Structure 1
């Protein structure tokens, strides 16, 4: 009987590049689906290389495929059960075969969720593109409006200058007439 290497939570968190609180959340989520971890005498979780493998897969599901904790836990636990069922006795295998429709249904649900997520991401990108176009048009309109306002202000100022200049000329001419 060979003794498998055991890892601490800190080692696992460092290996996965996550914080210890994130690892705790992931482990709790996995335990809620039925997955169990080894425990020390102080009730601290201990991890095997198998656990590390499943946690790597969990990390990929969460970070790359944007699965929720619950869905990622279900996928990992399903894979764990299938792996465990391969090494169990035939009577247990028969029980597992009865559960296979459930696993297939879960896989189908996960596949549909992945497709829905992909559609949602596509929709969001299209929406952002439309919003960017709208913002650009609004900015162009505002710039055009500002230019028109500035042009109108310049024309008003020019008109005021002409009126003031013509009144100044009249008063100067009136003065000349006054002295004659």
Structure 2
């Protein structure tokens, strides 16, 4: 048994189904046939299978042999199991708490942490610059809108004055030639 075969991320059946692009019934059938040939999957506390990277690779190869190359399922499983070294098979059963500890014990080096903070600072500076530019653009747009409004109001006033003058000229009675000439 290889110690590295049970380290790493353990996948649930649904995740493996998604990774392989297959149905739950196909995955179950493939696992049972591999187990009949001697391959052992890690079982969780509720007897469900847990899949490690090596298991996913084996299942991908099985899928390729059966669906792409057209081999019989039993023959493909037998060929795969015979190629896999015994020490690389997953045989131990980790407890659920062990899996949670594996996911919670993530360490980040100081240099990685420093890079993360530098990227965060750069992103904050970029966001500030972007916000300033947006505010400048909004201010410019407001000025242009105010100028347009003033021009429109000026044009409306001019038209209104013209209409008033025309109306005043139409309302006044017309004087004859001599009345206009002598101002009476």
TM bin, normalised by shorter chain, reads 0.3 to 0.5
Between 1 and 2, higher relative CO (CA 8 Å, sep ≥ 6) is seen in 2
| Bigger-Rg structure (1/2) | 2
Give the TM-score of the pair, scaled to structure 1.
0.44
Q: Give TM-score, length-normalised by structure 2.
A: 0.43
Compare the two structures and name the one with the higher helix fraction: 1
